[in-house]
Amino acid sequence: MNIPGMARACALAGALVLGGAAPAWAGGPAVPLQASQLPAIAHGAPRTSEVLQPVSRSGREIYESFRSGLSDQACAVEPGDRWRRHFAHVPGDLANRPERLLPLFGYVLDALRTYHLPSEYALIPFVESGYRPGARSPSGPAGLWQFIGATARNHQVTMRPGYDGRLSPVESTAAAVRYLRTLHGMFAGDWRLAVMGYNAGEYRIFGALRNAGQRAMDAEPEKLAVPPITRAYVRKLQALSCLLVEAGEDPEWLEAIDQAVPVLTSAPLPPGVRRLERWAVRNGHDPALVSHFNPAVAEGRAGRAGSVEVLVPARPQDALAALWPADGPGPGEQAPVFIADASDVLAADSAARTHIVARGESIWRIARDYGIEPGQLLRRNGLDAGTVLHPGMVLQIDAAEPGDAPAVAN
């Protein structure tokens, strides 16, 4: 089988681990995958994470992505800080309402990490809206990021009769990330200056820097003459960061969030759909969850929205359809037989252990189960701390690490 065929086979094996059905055309001539081929799929071909979007991940994976992406790893606020007390409920909310909060938190983190932006920016919706996509303020701001109308239009958020794009996590997050990416560059990668600019406007912060005789690249933001509300904005994010970092030191909290939650992705809402909830049911989604994530078009508003993108849980069949053409294998390719049980692989090749990632597993959990360090597992598979595992990936447990001396036969 050629490399593209092998990569596709690996992806389809992942779908079977998830319980997804193989396409109708998979009943053709079968080519069994040998256990010895699986490491080649993981290393020589594109990894599953590069060719197949996952449909779920654990809350712990999302948290680990947040931790690894923090710009400031040390806590910058005192235990008695008022904003620590104000946001003390957030770790509990993540643990107690994981199906609503964690997928959206993960979606925002993914959008930020795409541009290598720090995780602190993913805390902004906690401050602005409590991570509620449909939040509205009596003074006018709306949505996850609480844009006012003028700001939304300036950042290309669609606003027209019958549709308010500020209430779309897809549109508003894309706009917020664009703006934060611009501010991050303007202020030499200092997230504190960037969020000050986000809150008060970049020109006001440039003026404060100039008046203080400071430059963005070596600024001391705490010494700038800025409005108290802007200074407090930074403190709020610092307090939230401290609370979540400290929560991660509690094994019970980690256990509470270590459950599978859906990966969210954008999908086009076809013109003519009148009720989002009915469309969700027809497409195999939980209508209540889809309605929660898309207040801009929920509750009968879809018919007035026109052509828009909605936020939905990813599905195995969507990934498979994108990975392999609808008409089945290409010329010279054959439909493979897939191994859904990792024990088949281990029995076939016990000399070098491998592990097929299952739904909800993390690097930390897999390493613990095999009695090795997470860092060892990452290095043995050419992964880094920011890698998100996807069901169906094949990990090398006993592979040599870079720099290891070759094994010597006795």
pLDDT the model gives residue 54: 72
Averaged over 146-158, what is the pLDDT?
Answer: 92
Q: Note the pLDDT tens digit of each residue in 179-204.
A: 999 999 999 999 999 999 999 999 99
Structure token pair of residue 41: 């799929």
User: Confidence band (pLDDT; 50, 70, 90) for 207?
Assistant: very high
Do 134 and 295 meet the contact criterion of CB atoms below 8 Å apart?
yes
Check pLDDT > 90 for residue 245: yes
Check pLDDT > 80 for residue 5: no
Check pLDDT > 70 for residue 146: yes
pLDDT the model gives residue 193: 96
pLDDT the model gives residue 305: 61
CATH of domain 59-257: 1.10.530.10
Domain 3-47+342-396 class in CATH: alpha beta
Do 131 and 124 meet the contact criterion of CB atoms below 8 Å apart?
no
Q: How many CB atoms lie within 10 A of CB 299?
A: 11
pLDDT the model gives residue 105: 97
Do 69 and 118 meet the contact criterion of CB atoms below 8 Å apart?
yes
Check pLDDT > 90 for residue 79: no
Angle between helices 316-323 and 3-17 (to 10 degrees): 170
pLDDT the model gives residue 50: 39
| Angle made by CA atoms 222, 227, 228, in degrees to the nearest 5 | 70
Cα separation, 152 vs 164, in Å, equals 10
Least confident of 137-146, 147-156, 183-192, 332-341: 332-341
Check pLDDT > 60 for residue 353: yes
Q: Note the pLDDT tens digit of each residue in 110-143.
A: 999 999 999 999 999 999 999 999 999 988 999 9
Do 61 and 266 meet the contact criterion of CB atoms below 8 Å apart?
no
pLDDT the model gives residue 6: 39
Cα separation, 143 vs 157, in Å, equals 11
DSSP structure class, residue 217: G
pTM: 0.67
Structure token pair of residue 245: 């970092």
Please report how many Cα atoms fall inside a 13 Å half-sphere around the Cα of residue 313, on the Cβ side: 24
Cα separation, 14 vs 367, in Å, equals 20
Structure token pair of residue 116: 């290598």
Check pLDDT > 60 for residue 32: no
pLDDT the model gives residue 78: 82
Please report how many Cα atoms fall inside a 13 Å half-sphere around the Cα of residue 236, on the Cβ side: 21
Residue 87's φ and ψ, nearest 5 degrees, are: -105, 15
Domain boundaries, the chain: 3-47+342-396, 59-257, 264-313
Averaged over 366-370, what is the pLDDT?
Answer: 76
Q: Note the pLDDT tens digit of each residue in 270-320.
A: 877 888 888 888 888 889 999 999 999 987 676 666 678 999 998 765 544
Instruction: Check for a shared fold between 3-47+342-396 and 59-257.
Output: no
Burial of 186-200, coded b for 16+ CB within 10 Å and e otherwise, reads bbeebbbbbbbbbbb
